[in-house]
Amino acid sequence: MLSLKKLFGKDDKFFDLLEAGAEEAKASVDLFSRYLQTIAAGTAPGATLDEFIQTRRKEKRIRHTMTEELSKTFVTPLEREDIEALSWALYRIPKQVEKIVERLSIYPGRVPHTAFQRQAELMLLAAEAVVFMVKQLRGGTHIEKIREANDRLQFAEGEADKVMLTLLKDLYHGPYDAKELVILQELYEMVEQAVDRCRNAGNIVVQIVLKHS
């Protein structure tokens, strides 16, 4: 039998799960950064594809647990739709990072790690902002703190767009054959989309906070 505390959403389970999801998302970005560093050093990748897959699977288990808890709880601390939307947005971050590493692992040419480095830094900045924003939900609606973190997130997203444009310019004017140009363009776009995934998660947090402010 469900306890009244669980039935009426008085425990911290949902905040625990959302924070765990945000941390797993950031963990995947950390792995990607280390992956690039070892490639740059000319050594074997410091993180294998299996590690990225495991991170994504952990995130998926968190989502499944969230769904189960939502089905058991009558009243939730946040709107049910918002919890589901944020949980899904967080899951899409490690899923996107996994896709990037999948493509890099089968890329037949020399990986242009320097081209990805700035994007990886912006991914990390965005992921850190998301973790901070999600953790603020537990304590209430601290709109000023959320806005400051969202500013960092929007900055990362804007810079990622600029980096993407520069990379494309270099690509179009560089000594690449047609196949290599298409492959690298797709890879650059996938990394930029990972920053967008973080922005989307942050936007949901902002919407939640504005509803409760």
Give the CATH number of the domain where residue 176 resides.
Answer: 1.20.58.220
In the chain, pLDDT over 70 holds for what percent of residues? 91
Confirm whether 152 is domain-assigned: yes
d(CA 34, CA 110): 17
- pLDDT at position 12: 84
Cα angle: 98, vertex 15, 135; to 5 degrees = 75
Domain count, the chain: 1
Confirm whether 19 is domain-assigned: yes
- pLDDT at position 130: 97
pLDDT for 150 beyond 80: yes
Confirm whether 2 is domain-assigned: no
Which domain does 77 fall in, by range?
7-212
More confident residue, 111 or 132: 132
Confirm whether 1 is domain-assigned: no
- pLDDT at position 60: 93
pLDDT for 113 beyond 50: yes
pLDDT for 63 beyond 90: yes
Confirm whether 91 is domain-assigned: yes
More confident residue, 128 or 37: 128
